[in-house]
Amino acid sequence: MYLVEEATQLADRVFQMWITAPQVARHARAGQFLIIRLDETGERVPLTISAVRGDQVRIIFMAVGKTTEHLSSMKKGDAISDVVGPLGTPSEIERYGTVVVIGGGVGIASTPIIAREAKEAGNHVIGIIGARNKDFLILEDEMTEICDELFITTDDGSKGVHGFASTVLDELCKNQKLDCVWIVGPAIMMKVTSAVTRPYGVKTFVSLNPIMVDGTGMCGSCRVTVGGETKFACVDGPEFDAHQVDFDELMSRQRTYTDEEKASLEHYHHGGCGCCGGDH
């Protein structure tokens, strides 16, 4: 069993949780993820490792389905049945020069650990975090502390730049030399934002979030097309060359179990077990 050490709400339906998981914390690197199972009959849910603190790992998630709603109700002192990880290939972090770390929405959860490792590798780190409005922004203070520069964007202009991360990134590309970019967020956001760096030839990584089950490359549910080849996000990624990803296929596959996920959540709200669907 894995003990919940802290559980707090960061924004509407967005929660932060620190879990004691010594083996995971000891080996975790930027870009990797873990899989949790709340109890022995529960589904397996992949979540990005957002930070490490001693023997604890941090996850940040949005309550959108049965399991994440159940997880959001857990408090300090509660226990999770299984925490498996770290899984996936770590971010390709080295001393590039000037790098940009971009997070959109809940994707901001992945940015601190990447930005911190990039900074420790000797890079000048520029952060861009964006959300629908100021109430959905998370980890602003943490990213301010880590990054050499931080830009904030909101769709409605309630804080920072009125617009999207792609707008700020485009200005940066026009005005200085960028050596590497990481983008984490909704698939459509990653598609649009990564298109900005293509004309400039800037090395760009995106962290993909397809449907995932076992996290070890056995089930094949997380397959994505990168550079015309089939890859498994759980073992070959989750980070890939943004300019090689088939985002349209990714977004289509993400919608595969929409009806089942909705039914599972409704069943959960009516007191059922909710084991008939997922919320990956």
Per-residue confidence (pLDDT) for residue 64, from 0 to 100: 86
Q: How confident is the model at residue 223 (pLDDT cuts 50, 70, 90)?
A: confident
Same domain, 111 and 193: yes
Q: Is residue 265 domain-resident? A: no
Q: Is residue 43 domain-resident? A: yes
Q: Which residue type does 133 have?
A: N
Same domain, 105 and 177: yes
Same domain, 107 and 191: yes
Q: Is residue 195 domain-resident? A: yes
229 contacts: CB under 8 Å, gap ≥ 6: none
Same domain, 63 and 143: no
Same domain, 107 and 203: yes
Same domain, 37 and 109: no
Q: Do β-strands 56-62 and 161-162 pair in parallel, antiparallel, or remain unpaired?
A: unpaired
Q: Any bridge partners for residue 245, and if so which?
A: 226
pLDDT in tens, 136-178: 999 999 999 999 999 999 999 999 999 999 999 999 999 999 9
Q: Is 234 annotated as a binding residue?
A: yes
The alpha-carbon radius of gyration of the chain (Å, integer) is 18
Two structure tokens written together for 21: 């998981």
Q: How far apart are CA 50 and CA 92, in angstroms?
A: 16
> What distance, in Å, lies between the first and last C-alpha atoms of the chain?
22
Per-residue confidence (pLDDT) for residue 47, from 0 to 100: 93
Q: Is residue 163 domain-resident? A: yes
Q: Is the pLDDT of residue 211 over 90?
A: no
- Final residue belonging to a domain, choices 173, 207, 241: 207
Domain span holding position 51:
2-87
State percent of the chain over pLDDT 70: 90
Q: Is residue 253 domain-resident? A: no
Q: Any bridge partners for residue 125, and if so which?
A: 99
Same domain, 32 and 125: no
46 contacts: CB under 8 Å, gap ≥ 6: 33, 34, 35, 87, 212, 215, 234, 280
CATH code for the domain in which residue 60 is found: 2.40.30.10
Per-residue confidence (pLDDT) for residue 121, from 0 to 100: 98
Q: Is residue 239 domain-resident? A: no
Per-residue confidence (pLDDT) for residue 279, from 0 to 100: 43
Q: What is the mean pLDDT of the chain?
A: 90
Same domain, 164 and 201: yes
pLDDT in tens, 186-201: 999 999 999 999 999 9
Average the pLDDT over 230-242 and give the result.
91
pLDDT in tens, 99-123: 999 999 999 999 999 999 999 999 9
CATH code for the domain in which residue 109 is found: 3.40.50.80
What SS3 string covers the chain?
A: CEEEEEEEEEECCEEEEEEECHHHHHHCCCCCEEEEECCCCCCCEEEECCEEECCEEEEEEECCCHHHHHHHCCCCCCEECEEEEEECCCCCCCCCCEEEEEEEHHHHHHHHHHHHHHHHCCCEEEEEEEECCHHHCCCHHHHHHHCCEEEEEECCCCCCEECCHHHHHHHHHHHCCCCEEEEECCHHHHHHHHHHHHHHCCEEEEECCCCCCCCCCCCCCCEEEECCEEEEHHHHCCEEEHHHECHHHHHHHHCCCHHHHHHHHHHHHCCCCCCCCCCC
Q: Is the pLDDT of residue 280 over 70?
A: no
Distances (CA, A) of 280 to 71, 165, 251: 13, 25, 13
Same domain, 114 and 187: yes
Per-residue confidence (pLDDT) for residue 237, from 0 to 100: 87
pLDDT in tens, 44-94: 899 999 999 999 999 999 998 888 999 999 999 999 999 999 999 999 999
Same domain, 43 and 126: no
- Final residue belonging to a domain, choices 36, 62, 87: 87
- Final residue belonging to a domain, choices 189, 207, 225: 207
The number of domains in the chain is: 2
Q: Is residue 256 domain-resident? A: no
Same domain, 105 and 199: yes
Q: Is residue 135 domain-resident? A: yes
- The residue with greater pLDDT, 171 or 212, is 171
Same domain, 67 and 144: no
